[in-house]
Amino acid sequence: MPLLSVENLSTSYRIRGSMFSPAKFLRAVDNVSFSLDEGETLGLVGESGCGKSTLGRTIIRLEKPSSGKVLIEDRDISSLDGAELRKARSGFQMIFQDPYGSLNPRMTVYNTLDEVLSIHTRLDRSGRQNRIIELLEMVGLNSEHMYRYPHQFSGGQRQRIGIARALAVEPKLIVADEPVSALDVSVQAQIINLLIEIQQKTNVAFLFIAHDLAVVEHISKRIMVMYLGKIVESGISQEITGKPRHPYTKALLSAVPVLDPVTKRSRIILPGDVPSPLNPPSGCPFHPRCPLAKEKCSREIPSLQPLEKDPMHFSACFFHDEVTKM
């Protein structure tokens, strides 16, 4: 049984209309399904505005789903509210993108972590202090940092504090929402390696959200590619980056810098911008920008299907065999 099962999940927002136009619905997440095993890291990539952060926030119930289910250990948390939801939160946590904005500037590191432990554990004051020291050491800090404020730390150190806060209640699932995008490249590698070490020690599962395929490939066992609220490709990391079978994935991969001078990769420039989810295109959501698009693509929506030769590799494209020729 998987740790996390997401079934036909959608998240929509009602946009108020004016006197002369009716209200509209923005579907940020559109009928998404996937599973995640205990101790596994699943990467989620896509351009800004594709809905990946909304999906992560919906899974941990910072956003309420419009339809579908989110099952953690076979318990549907999408239907929980109030005290039941607060109690369930000890099983799933989030690492936020902005290490500068996700910490309260008026609270010391001790107060930040103690607040979480006070709500979700029965530890006494001494036990909480010992747990705080343990958490700081786990993320590469020490007890000397306990009584400092966020402004006294670098961006990488603040993100380590954010990771410690997520780990405080020993969750089985952590949604990491672009946890390294605001950091320098050298610091990004340190945080990625830290997350790998933590997973080896605690067996926590990660849904790792990012827009950089190279970063996601390094940490993830499997990768999902998202476009306009839909998953358009998923599979084993090496297959997704080595043999992409959706033109959008191929375009994302072409933007990743290659260090090996022998390896040549032609850049695929997609025309236009991501369409507005308020007014999505008919048929395949990617067809207005797709170099392989045919008339069929504007009329029909391709479903996410396993490839005949690789049942672990899924693509939502009518012409996935032609992607390798791009």
Closest Cα to residue 223, out of 39, 27, 2, 46? 46
Residue 97 and residue 24 in one domain: yes
Phi, psi for residue 182 in degrees, rounded to 5: -95, 5
pLDDT band with cut points at 50, 70 and 90 for residue 255 = confident
pTM of the model: 0.92
Residue 129 and residue 208 in one domain: yes
Rounded average pLDDT over 14-31: 82
Domain range for residue 326? 243-326
Say yes or no to pLDDT of 264 above 70.
Answer: no
Rounded average pLDDT over 198-219: 93
Residue 169 in any domain: the answer is yes
Residue 273 and residue 213 in one domain: no
Q: Hey, which residues does 42 pair with through a beta bridge?
A: 207, 222
Mean of per-residue pLDDT scores for the chain: 91
Residue 273 in any domain: the answer is yes
Residue 169 and residue 23 in one domain: yes
Quote the CA–CA distance of 66 and 63 in Å, as a whole number: 9
Number of domains in the chain: 2
How much is the pLDDT for 260?
A: 58
Residue 254 and residue 212 in one domain: no
How much is the pLDDT for 3?
A: 96
Give the Å distances, CA to CA, from 157 to 199, 227, 296, 311.
19, 32, 51, 41
Say yes or no to pLDDT of 276 above 90.
Answer: no
pLDDT band with cut points at 50, 70 and 90 for residue 272 = confident
Residue 130 in any domain: the answer is yes
Q: Tell me, what amino acid is at 19? A: M
pLDDT band with cut points at 50, 70 and 90 for residue 186 = confident
Say yes or no to pLDDT of 188 above 80.
Answer: yes
Residue 60 in any domain: the answer is yes
Residue 167 in any domain: the answer is yes
Say yes or no to pLDDT of 308 above 70.
Answer: yes
CATH of the domain at 41: 3.40.50.300
Residue 202 and residue 141 in one domain: yes
Rounded average pLDDT over 192-206: 96
**Lowest-pLDDT range, 18-22, 36-40, 198-202?**
18-22
Say yes or no to pLDDT of 263 above 60.
Answer: no
Residue 210 and residue 277 in one domain: no
pLDDT tens track for 113-147: 999 999 888 999 999 999 999 999 999 999 999 99
Residue 230 in any domain: the answer is no
pLDDT tens track for 78-115: 888 888 998 888 899 999 988 788 899 999 999 999 99
Rounded average pLDDT over 46-69: 94
Residue 52 in any domain: the answer is yes
Residue 163 and residue 250 in one domain: no
Give the domain-ending residue among 189, 220, 251. Answer: 220
Residue 200 and residue 265 in one domain: no
Residue 286 in any domain: the answer is yes
Query: Percent of the chain scored above 70 by pLDDT?
Result: 97
Quote the CA–CA distance of 238 and 253 in Å, as a whole number: 12
Rounded average pLDDT over 184-193: 90
Residue 204 and residue 261 in one domain: no
Residue 215 and residue 119 in one domain: yes
How much is the pLDDT for 91?
A: 92
Residue 156 and residue 17 in one domain: yes
How much is the pLDDT for 261?
A: 54
Give the Å distances, CA to CA, from 263 to 2, 241, 259.
38, 14, 8
**Lowest-pLDDT range, 259-263, 285-289, 313-317?**
259-263
**Lowest-pLDDT range, 63-72, 269-278, 289-298?**
269-278
